[in-house]
Amino acid sequence: MADDLLSQIRLNGAVPRHVAVIMDGNGRWARERNLPRPLGHRAGMKAVREAVEGALEAGVEVLTLFAFSEENWQRPAAEISALMQLLEEYIAREVAELRHQGVAVHVLGDRTRLAPGARAAVERIERETYDGARLALNLCISYSSRGELARAARLLAEEVLKGVKRLEAGECRLSNFLLWQLAYTELYITPVLWPDLTRRDLFQAILDYQGRERRFGRITA
């Protein structure tokens, strides 16, 4: 149980609106147990539920999870296919509960590279949860921050060329995952391997955040 940490979070007050997590350590978790890597990913899938529950309980508005990077396409075909199968399984298993809990799922990344089954599953979960109002869950799949920047810059250039957008400062708002937001983002590094994550760890991170002084480049009086 993690109620003690949750009570402390509530006493402290401000909860971060957006928590973004690199789900790292599935491979090491499996190796520590002499298990094949895909079993680490499977255990990681369970931790996703734990993180979602924790975010809902703490009142986080946006939870962004890095599930599969563009670089991950270079992993062995068997691991990629195990991950894609897990993605489909996750969606089939979770969609009803996420919808029930008011979670809106958005998938970020280059979905054109996904196999048809995985792509259909991704579209399904977005469609069936779109009106969730309690938590936005961003799943980054086939995602890279550089790719996102390049795509955004290309789209912007196209809109400027078409005359849809003018090249004036302050007019452009480009969505991005982390590179830009990281400028003043509070980072919290945990030694916990992703499959071992519990809501206690999420709550510890929030408590750590609450203990920091956010100055955004200024100094305090």
User: Which positions lie near ligand FPP, rule CB under 6 A?
Assistant: 23-28, 41, 44-45, 48, 67-68, 72, 83, 86-87, 90, 139, 194
If the CB atoms of residues 44 and 54 are measured against ligand FPP, the closer one turns out to be: 44
> Least CB distance from residue 163 to ligand FPP, whole Å?
40
CA 127 → CA 76, 96, 97, 133, distances in Å? 31, 12, 14, 14
Instruction: Quickly tell me which residue has 């980072």 as its tokens.
Output: 187
Kindly name the residue from 4, 24, 34, 208 that is annotated as catalytic: 24
> Least CB distance from residue 131 to ligand FPP, whole Å?
21
Those residues whose C-beta lies under 8 Å from the C-beta of residue 212, and which sit 6 or more positions away, are 186
Which regions of 70-205 does DSSP assign to beta strands (E)?
103-108, 135-143
> Least CB distance from residue 63 to ligand FPP, whole Å?
11
What does the buried/exposed string (b/e) look like for 100-139 if buried means 16 or more CB atoms within 10 Å of the residue's CB?
A: ebebbbbbbbeeeebeeebbebbeebbebbeebeebbbbb
> Least CB distance from residue 166 to ligand FPP, whole Å?
39
If the CB atoms of residues 10 and 46 are measured against ligand FPP, the closer one turns out to be: 46
Q: Would residue 201 show up in a list of annotated catalytic residues for this protein?
A: no
Kindly name the residue from 3, 12, 72, 208 that is annotated as catalytic: 72
Q: Quick check: helix, strand or coil at residue 34?
A: coil
Q: Would residue 72 show up in a list of annotated catalytic residues for this protein?
A: yes
- In this structure, what DSSP letter does residue 185 have? P
Cβ 25 vs Cβ 194: under 8 Å: yes
> Least CB distance from residue 5 to ligand FPP, whole Å?
22
- Of 17, 3, 15, nearest in space to 209 by CA: 15
Nearest residue to ligand FPP by CB is 27
What CA–CA distance (Å, rounded) separates 87 from 69? 14
Q: Among all residues, which ones are annotated catalytic? A: 24, 72
